[in-house]
Chains A and B, each alone.
Chain A
Amino acid sequence: MITRRLIGVLDRRLRLAAPVKKALDKVFPDHWSFMLGEIALYSFAVLVLTGVFLALFFDPSASDTTYNGAFTPMNGETTSTAYSSALHLSFDVRAGLLMRQTHHWAALIFVGAIVLHLCRIFFTGAYRRPREINWVIGVTMLMLALLNGFTGYSMPDDQLSGIGLRIIYSAVQSIPVLGGDVAFLIFGGEFPAQQTIPRMFTAHVFIVPAILTALIGAHLVILIRQKHSQFAGRGRTEHNVVGSRLWPAYTVRTIGLFSAVLAVLFAMGGLAQINPVWIYGPFEPSQATIPSQPDWYVAWGEGALRLFPRADIHVFGGLIPSPFFPGVVLGGVAFLALYAWPFLDEWARRDKYDHQILDRPRDHPVRMAVGVGALTFFGLLLLAASDDVVADWMQLPVNSVVWTYRVLVLAVPPMAAVIAFFLSRALRDAQGGFSDLTRANLKTMFRRRRDQTAQESHPGGRIETARRAEDQWGWRYVESFDGQDPYVLASTNSYESERAALSAASLAYPGLPTRGSPSTGTDGEVRRVEHRSTDHRITMAAGLAIVVALAVNAIRRRL
């Protein structure tokens, strides 16, 4: 009753019915991998919510103050105002520590979700024409997420983050010719400058989030304008989108996901300690925490700094210090490559077509090799950031651990890329996973063959129209098999005439017979594909059973 009145009140002023109906009818593909970007979005929401709370209590100032509060070991100590207010926030403000820790965990998950989303987009070729703009926006958001993660982590002015800030400062300072000026421009003077923390605060709570919000908006508007891409499947063509409607199916699901993200983040924020600045102590330029490792998403840079050999270069009367290469060039090249990838890919494959159906990752061995190689490379660099901890655990000299990592970082990614290349070639013809590989598949592995662009699965159904109301028509896509329930996709839109409905249907399924003219030939083909796909599940289950049996047998023999 109240809803009805509210809708009425709004509609009499805004004429909402048509646009709202269109929005509620938007179709979202049903595949779990489309949720990765949503996890990033919801982590961002958590970051904003907890961040606003934190900003109300945090005082970003480098000036000295005396901490007086519940954390007795620091009571009466002189520290920077930023550090003191971080302690205050953690111990003297109710729920402050929960918010601080949740904020930090959310930042880690935010970047993680973005990276996974990027991998999904990369391996399925979703960045291809016409979606390059959204790829570029996404890569920019990843960069901003890294930047904001780093500034947020450095603001409390604790010992660990102070060291990290000093390292970044050194990397900036290493830029040829302009390094000193750029470092002073960013940090406000020679390290540790009074202005650094206030500047990071302004960037962290205002500038970067504002840009991120605008880019998220653009990302979503473009997504809605271009509509979702989709994986190949029954009834899916290059000219339609198959899935659930925004209302109610998708909305219920996505709010459930939002709640799940909130639940996980608050569980981590409440129960898992992170960045205990009170243990690290306030930053003193003459001290260091041992060992020091940064948050995971900048650890690849730290690993590169540890592995890169000394290589000071003197050119044109100037010095290029060695941190320049791992600290500036590596990140710069990585992001340039990310930005350029869709265009390189388009150019290399001479691809001038619009794509709506996503690739199966295995159908593009080169892309698979590049992706796996790059992920291995950065993964190893990330591990190398903890070389001192590894050396300590294994009781080895740090130097040998460094050399091992140097060899691994250079040797393993190409090997991983080659293996990924041949495995995807082998899998290309297999219907299932690794357990379904036949000898014939393995033979084709070394044979050259043109990359396939995603094949449109030939829809083998028919179109039917139906009257939905007095002046409303809809259409359905129907695949029917003998003795089975028919597979039906209903059009989400309504049309004013049967003609309009039919023309929309022929847009979605070009060249398909309409109403009551079943095409048995293609029906048969579809059924065969269907049959094979159930078959591979059985094969996979059987393969798994055999592996388990063998494993159990092996263990029993040992015992």
Chain B
Amino acid sequence: MSREDETRPEIAIVASFGVTVAAAAVFAATYALGGQTQILGAALAVGFGGLATGLTVWSRHLVQGGGYVEEHEGFASAASEVDEMTERLTSIAHPHRRGLLGMLVVACASLGAAAVFPIRSLLQPRGDHPERQLSRTVWADRSFRLVDAGNRPVRIADVGSETVLTVFPEGHTDGGDVPAFLVRLDPAKFTAKPPAADIDGVVAYSLLCTHAGCPVSLYEQTSGKMLCPCHQSVFDLLSAGRPVAGPAARALPGLPIAVDPSGFLYSTGDFTGPPGPGYWGRP
């Protein structure tokens, strides 16, 4: 090798590390000037890229890789050593002291068992048994006015046949299990009566898919079907919310509603079944 060849890797390494220095300066300057994400990222990438390049050239040309061997002593100790170790370790369990050891184990186990109890606090500090909470919603508490996401009361005249209208019990628009939707259907097309009776074709159902709880938000007007965007379950609103395709197995529960003299809608009870995904104790 000529002298030139020998120094070439060194030049490359110095140049790479130089790039890193420049990139570090660019990073600092960009940060000081406002921190534009792309430039910051690119500067760090170039900086670490310089280090990586320099070190790779270093490892390929300036240090010798491979060429070493190390003997392997085997994975297990000699049998005599194992025996000795076992002897030492078990000497504490001399027959005279077995009772002491047994009591020590019992004492530690009791403390361990006692330490399990505070886990109860994680379950929920207050409230009913989980399955009872799952089986009912706020709608059961009393009669609510139906409001939209903006907390505006909904009139029966607001309900169209082209799109569904998402509604909540007044004052509970954040609830996870309460969302319902309203849509106007043609009662003549019903192949099964809606689970909670309709008012001139206006029906109310739980919005939550009975498969995994996603909101079933895609409505197809021509067929009267609701599609869940998560796992593509389809519910037929003309046939009492029955699942007709996809992984959902149960019909959408209906919401019993009524209309007051000034045309506002209100609820008259809880959903006709627990909304959303199934669970062991679901009736």
Cβ contacts under 8 Å, B112 to chain A:
none
Residue A516 at the B interface, CB < 8 A? no
Residues of B within 8 A of A189 (CB): 124, 127, 133
Provide the bound-state CA to CA distance between A256 and B60, in Å: 11
A124 at the interface (CB under 8 A from B): no
CA distance in complex: A320, B280 (Å): 6
* B122, CB-defined interface residue at 8 Å: yes
Q: Which residues 286-339 of A sit at the B interface, judged by CB distance below 8 A? A: 286-292, 305-306, 308-312, 318-323, 327
Rounded to whole Å, the gap between the CB of B53 and the closest CB of chain A is 8
Residue contact B75 to A102, C-beta cutoff 8 Å = no
- Min Cβ gap A352→B in Å is 12
Asked if A167 contacts B44 (CB within 8 A), the reply is no
Is B66's beta carbon under 8 Å from chain A?
yes
**In the complex the two chains form, is A398's CB within 8 Å of B232's CB?**
yes
A244:B67 contact, CB within 8 angstroms: yes
* Stretch from B89-97, B182-190, B206-214 forming part of the interface with A: B206-214
Q: Which of B46-63 contact A (CB under 8 A)?
A: 46-49, 51-52, 54-56, 58-59, 63
Q: Are B48 and A262 in contact (CB under 8 A)?
A: yes
Do the beta carbons of A399 and B42 come within 8 Å of each other?
Answer: no
A173-B277, A190-B176 given; A240·B71 CB < 8 A: yes
**B41 and A180 within 8 A (CB):** no
B65, A267: Cβ atoms under 8 Å? no
- B260 interfacial by beta-carbon distance below 8 Å: no
Across the interface, which residues of A come within 8 angstroms of B250, CB to CB?
A: 312
Bound-state CA distance A412–B140 (Å) is 50
Q: Is A95 an interface residue (CB 8 A)?
A: yes
Interface with B: A51-59, A433-441, A490-498, which one?
Answer: A490-498
CB distance from B257 to the nearest CB of A (A): 17
Report, as a range, how many residues of chain A touch the other chain: 35 or more
**CB distance A354 to B75 under 8 Å?**
yes
Q: Are A227 and B70 in contact (CB under 8 A)?
A: yes
Cβ 8 A contact of B73, one of A167, A184, A284, A507: A507
- Bound-state CA distance A551–B177 (Å) is 60
Verify if A188 is at the interface (C-beta below 8 Å from B).
Answer: yes
Who on chain B is nearest to A246 by CB?
B68
- Judge if B6 is at the interface, Cβ distance under 8 Å: no
CA distance A163 to B177 in the complex (A): 13
A residues 228-281 near B (Cβ < 8 Å) are 235, 238-245, 248-249, 252-253, 255-257, 259-260, 262-264, 266-271
Residue interface bits A484-519, CB-to-B below 8 A is 1, else 0: 000011111100000000001101100000000000
B131 at the interface (CB under 8 A from A): yes
Assess whether A167 is in contact with B213, with CB atoms less than 8 Å apart: yes
The contact of B52 among A181, A257, A477, by CB within 8 Å, is: A257
Q: Is B256 an interface residue (CB 8 A)?
A: no
Please count how many residues in chain B sit with their CB below 8 Å of the partner chain's CB atoms.
80
The complex places the Cα of A285 from the Cα of B75 at a distance, in Å, of 56
Contact between B213 and A169, CB atoms less than 8 A apart: yes
A97 interface hit (Cβ, 8 Å): yes
The smallest C-beta distance from B91 to any residue of chain A, in angstroms, reads 26
Contact of B207 among A257, A267, A286 (CB under 8 A): A286
Shortest distance in angstroms between B22's beta carbon and chain A's nearest beta carbon?
Answer: 15
Q: Is the CB of B194 closer than 8 A to any CB of chain A?
A: no
Q: Is the CB of B279 within 8 A of A173?
A: yes
A271–B42 touching, CB < 8 Å: yes
A180 lies within 8 A of B281 (CB): yes
User: Smallest distance from the beta carbon of B69 to chain A beta carbons, Å?
Assistant: 4
Query: What residues of B have a CB within 8 angstroms of the CB of A8 in the complex?
Result: none
How far apart are B247's CB and chain A's nearest CB, in angstroms?
Answer: 5
Is B49 in contact with A170, judged by CB distance below 8 angstroms?
A: no
A311 to B63 CA separation, bound complex (whole angstroms): 63
Which of B30-38, B155-163, B195-203 contacts its partner? B30-38
CB distance from A61 to the nearest CB of B (A): 15
Task: Report the bound CA distance from A174 to B211 in whole Å.
Answer: 10
Decide: A98 and B278 in contact? CB cutoff 8 A.
no
| Contacting pair A95 B72 (CB below 8 A) | no
Q: Contact: A179 with B66, CB < 8 Å? A: no
Partner of A180, one of B230, B276, B279: B279
Partner of A249, one of B65, B133, B280: B65
Residues of B near A242 (CB, < 8 A) are: 66, 68-70
Quick check: B51 and A492 within 8 Å, CB to CB? no
Closest to B27 in A: A95
Find B215's partner among A185, A286, A327 (CB 8 Å cutoff).
A286
A interface residues, Cβ below 8 angstroms from B? 25-27, 30, 94-95, 97-98, 101-102, 130, 163, 166-167, 169-171, 173-181, 183-185, 188-192, 226-227, 235, 238-245, 248-249, 252-253, 255-257, 259-260, 262-264, 266-271, 284-292, 305-306, 308-312, 318-323, 327, 354, 356, 387-388, 398-399, 402, 477, 488-493, 504-505, 507-508
Q: A270-B37, A305-B247, A322-B247 given; name 5 further pairs at CB < 8 Å.
A: A180-B281, A249-B64, A252-B55, A289-B229, A292-B229
